[in-house]
Copies of this chain bind each other. A is one copy, B any other.
Amino acid sequence: MKRRPTIMDVAARAGVSKSTVSLVLQGSPQVKPATRSAVQDAMAEIGYVYNRAAANLRSASVGLVGLVINDLRNPFFTEFATTLQMTLAAQGYATVIANSDEDPTLQAKLVASMIEHGVTALVISPAYGEASDTFDALARRAIPVLQVLRKGDERTGIFPFASFDYAGGSAAATRHLVDQGARNIAFVGGLPGRAITRERKSGWREVLKEQGIAEIALHGKSSRAFGMQAAETLLADHPKVDAAVCFNDLVALGLMTGFARAGRPIGQGFPIVGFDDIEEAAQSWPPLSSVACDIAGFARETADRLLAWMVEGQRPEPEIRSPVRLVARASSLGVGP
């Protein structure tokens, strides 16, 4: 009675065989238009819904993409995840989004659960930490896996990796600050020892070397709170520092708040540049200069690459870097509030 209707029920109602119903479901041009609409009416009448699980059992590919993100609360990743999901949805693929919350154990569970549910492909921005088992399991099934935005530990090199040209971005930012007359440019934020910190620092370091400037770097969690704390540290311990490249916008905004609190608003003689160009950057006061990563564009490219891999079996290059763009705003242009 409460049983959910099957194609057999539809077939009985429409007076055809289950095979015909199946053909209609797959949009086969084989079926006569009259038959097709009879079947469709029958489906509507008895409230039939497709049972994808049953279908996949017989016919492999599912059209289900898994997306595992290390920190979904971070707006940067949220934007990426939602855009990717919507792009894939437009192509008829369903996406399962999951947040590993930087926990490799949870991440392993999530990935396992996704494999069990039969994802056809996986996009992952890995949590830091030991995860070789997780990746081994993925490699063993021949599931297309795309690492994005972040590289896991060394062993994950088996899977293609796509991200932004962070080094180029921070170099551009640093050069911009030099152009503004800054001489002692600190690097603020980023946990030490991580690939992304290394990348974002390397561009800054390169320019400093070029200019013969000494390095001052403050590392820590990439949060607003750390930025505020860093402001105090800079003001107290590094009075000569006259500009900063920040690991990301959150740190930069925190830094801005910290300076404002100390009565030394950013932008007047102390230019800073953030990274990521999150929505808030343009809306802070003063507006925050930032290295813009076109996340939405990147998400769309990711979707394209994934589809090319899934559908045409065309594996992407092992490492892809999307260009970034420096957006100069008041926070680095000496235009005070």
Contact = CB atoms under 8 A, between A and B. Distances in A.
A324 interface: no
Count the copies. 2
B89 A109 contact: yes
A78 B77 CA distance: 11
Interface string A134-172: 000100111000000000000000000000000000000
Chain A: number of interface residues, binned into ranges: 35 or more
A106 B97 CA distance: 16
A250 to B, nearest CB: 9
Contacts of A56: 53
Interface string A214-227: 00000000001100
29 contacts: A2-B142, A4-B141, A47-B137, A49-B115, A49-B116, A51-B116, A53-B57, A53-B117, A53-B118, A57-B57, A64-B117, A73-B78, A75-B75, A78-B78, A86-B101, A86-B106, A89-B109, A89-B113, A94-B117, A95-B98, A97-B98, A224-B280, A225-B283, A254-B283, A257-B284, A257-B285, A260-B285, A261-B285, A261-B337
Interface of A: 2, 4, 47, 49-54, 56-57, 64, 72-73, 75, 78-79, 81-82, 85-86, 89, 94-99, 101, 106, 109-110, 112-118, 137, 140-142, 224-225, 228, 254, 257, 260-261, 279-280, 283-285, 337
